């Protein structure tokens, strides 16, 4: 029964991750990392790296839907893509070098900071 419940939780949470990422245009990874860590028992660093790999196809599917419906700004894509790619590569390299505890605390602080900003500002 415990395995069935875990599978149900994973399916429901995964659907929520896809919905959040598609609806808000991002943020699914913020939900996916805790799912991978707490429910799937994936180590911290692997959770972060795996979340990126999982979010890629979700983001592509969402982007295609946005493009088809005319909600896409090519100028913005061209303006920020280089910085995002460079930042992503730097973050991935830093993830490899930082201790797991620091990664976990940094992620928690970012989540708290985003929550506070969205709540009050």
Cα gap 56→62, rounded to integer Å: 10
Confidence of residue 41 (pLDDT cuts 50, 70, 90): very high
Mean pLDDT of the chain: 91
Q: Is the dihedral of CA 93, 37, 116, 79 positive or negative?
A: positive
CB contact at 8 A, 107 and 48:
yes
Residue 8 is predicted with a pLDDT of: 92
Domain boundaries, position 89: 2-120
Provide the pLDDT confidence category of residue 29 given band limits of 50, 70 and 90.
confident
Least confident of 5-14, 25-34, 50-59, 102-111: 25-34
| Residue 99 in this model has a pLDDT that exceeds 90 | yes
User: What's the pTM?
Assistant: 0.77
pLDDT value at position 42? 94
Number of C-alpha atoms within 13 angstroms, CB side, residue 24? Answer: 12
Query: What is the structure's pLDDT at 59?
Result: 86
Report the sign of the C-alpha dihedral through residues 49, 51, 52, 56, in that order. positive
Cβ(66)–Cβ(22) below 8 Å = no
Task: Please state the domain count of the chain.
Answer: 1
């Amino acid at each position: 029964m415990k395995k069935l419940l875990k599978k149900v939780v994973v399916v429901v949470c995964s659907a929520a991750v896809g919905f959040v990422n598609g609806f808000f245009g991002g943020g699914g990874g913020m939900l996916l990392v805790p799912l991978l860590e707490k429910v799937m028992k994936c180590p911290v660093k692997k959770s972060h790296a795996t979340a990126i790999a999982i979010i890629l196809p979700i983001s592509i599917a969402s982007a295609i839907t946005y493009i088809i419906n005319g909600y896409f700004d090519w100028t913005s894509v061209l303006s920020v893509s280089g910085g995002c790619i460079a930042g992503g590569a730097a973050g991935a390299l830093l993830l490899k070098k930082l201790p797991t505890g620091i990664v976990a605390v940094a992620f928690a602080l970012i989540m708290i900071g985003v929550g506070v900003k969205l709540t009050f500002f």
